[in-house]
Structure 1
Amino acid sequence: MTDRNQKWFISLIVAVIAVAILLLHGSSELRYDRADILHGQIWRVFTGNFVHANWRHLASDLAGLLLWTALASHMETRRSYLIILIGSGLGVGLGLLVLDPQVGWYVGLSGILHGLFAASAIRLLSRKEWLGGLALTAAIALKLMWEQRFGDLGTAKLLGVPVLVDAHLYGAVTGVVIVLALLLFRR
């Protein structure tokens, strides 16, 4: 299997897991739930990223994953993709746990997606692909600033579920930190 196909396979596995969880109604056992995490169910810090509130929510996140895989996965190795995916998921969950104690629950891949896209922006800049890197960095930064100031971009109404914009911020920051560490330790 080629490297590109391996990354598509990873994305397919993520999609299958998310679909299976929604089909099997596993959200209550796997979603990020602060009270349950504090009572020892620590897996929820990570698994909540793969739970979705409804089919529109899942379709939106899978469209984002498809877009990233098609446009940007070529910049990552299989290993770095997994590191960013897992690291961003943990960054979202731990960020919510430590920095947002008022958040009782969270579901969705959007935090991880922000981590993947933010990492790709840094990758483009590190390759001196200035136009793409600066454009993607600006788009992500503007989106995050808007969300922090005004809330979501209307997606809550579209998806029928509240959007937790801090998860996007934590995912993006984690993705940037991870890719910078990968670039630093590559040398």
Structure 2
Amino acid sequence: MTRFACALALAGGVAALAAVFTLPAFAEWGTYRRELVLGGEVWRLATAMWVHLTWAHWAANSMAAAGLILLGTAAALSLRQLMLTLLVCGLAVTVALLRVPEVGWYAGLSGALHGLALWLGITLATRPGPAVSAEKGGPSSEAIGASITSQRLLLLGVVLCAGVLVKLWFEQSWLSPVAHDPAWGFGVVRVAHGLGTVSGALWWCFGQWRMRRRQAATAAR
């Protein structure tokens, strides 16, 4: 399978898993409910990200996940990195919500998607571009093309990071963790978006630390 086909398969898998948990029987079992988690039903920390309250909610998050996965694939990031980031951010959100007593319930991929979006944006914005060698007659057309692509991805990363941060600023979840949205017909747990964004940034930092540790270990051999 090509990378694009694998990315589509992963996006379809994410949408399919979320669709299963959106069915009423699974939704009741998987939704994050603070009192039930504290009572011992800790699996809800892992399943809440897959539950969606309506099919419109499911469709919106599934399309956003597909877009980020395809974008990351186009930027030559591994599907394993993208999926692991989504899972880590999703779990980090629900664990962190235990420290927010105002939030009694939570469901959906939005928190994890905010984390994935910021992680992807930082990764693209900080990734070093291709080295352009000083060849006789100037760099080749392939080198110039690679440099232009790198610059475009860098700009896209900056725009992605800015978009997430501007969205968080307008939501101001630190003032109101949950806000009823008439368009959705339910309360949007906005604080989950902020928690997801922070988890995405921390996950990127962890990746950088681990990479530099490996480089130092290799150099010491």
TM-score by length of 1: 0.88
Residue 155 of structure 1: CA displacement? Answer: 8.8
The share of aligned pairs that are identical, in percent, is 31
Distance 1:133 1:155, change over 3 A: farther
Q: Is the 8 A contact 1:48 1:106 kept in 2?
A: yes
Report Cα offsets for 1:41-79 as digits up to 9, x if no partner. Answer: 111112111001111111111121122122234443132
Higher-Rg structure is 2
Match in the other structure for 1:18? 18
Indicate yes or no: 2:163 matched with 1:139: yes
5 Å-filtered alignment, 1:99-138, equals 100-127=100-127, 129=151, 130-138=154-162
Residue 145 of structure 1: CA displacement? Answer: 1.2
Report Cα offsets for 1:108-140 as digits up to 9, x if no partner. Answer: 110111011101111111125442222222111
Number of residues paired by the alignment?
A: 185
Residue 84 of structure 1: CA displacement? Answer: 0.5
What CA RMSD, in Å, does the superposition of the two structures yield over aligned residues? Answer: 2.2
**Structure 1: 5+ residue runs without aligned partners?**
none
Distance 1:44 1:138, change over 3 A: same
Residue 3 of structure 1: CA displacement? Answer: 4.3
Residue 24 of structure 1: CA displacement? Answer: 5.0
TM-score by length of 2: 0.75
Q: State the distance in 1 between where 2:29 and 2:202 align.
A: 30
**Structure 2: 5+ residue runs without aligned partners?**
129-150, 213-221
Q: Which amino acid in structure 2 is aligned with residue 85 of structure 1?
A: L
Report Cα offsets for 1:118-174 as digits up to 9, x if no partner. Answer: 01111111125442222222111111111116769x992222221111111111111
Q: State the distance in 2 between where 1:179 and 1:6 align.
A: 23
Moved more, 84-93 or 67-76: 67-76
Q: Which amino acid in structure 2 is aligned with residue 14 of structure 1?
A: V
* Structure showing greater relative contact order (alpha-carbon pairs closer than 8 Å, 6 or more residues apart): 1
Match in the other structure for 2:66? 66
Q: State the distance in 1 between where 2:71 and 2:81 align.
A: 16
5 Å-filtered alignment, 1:147-158, equals 147-148=171-172, 156-158=181-183
Match in the other structure for 1:97? 98
Match in the other structure for 1:42? 42
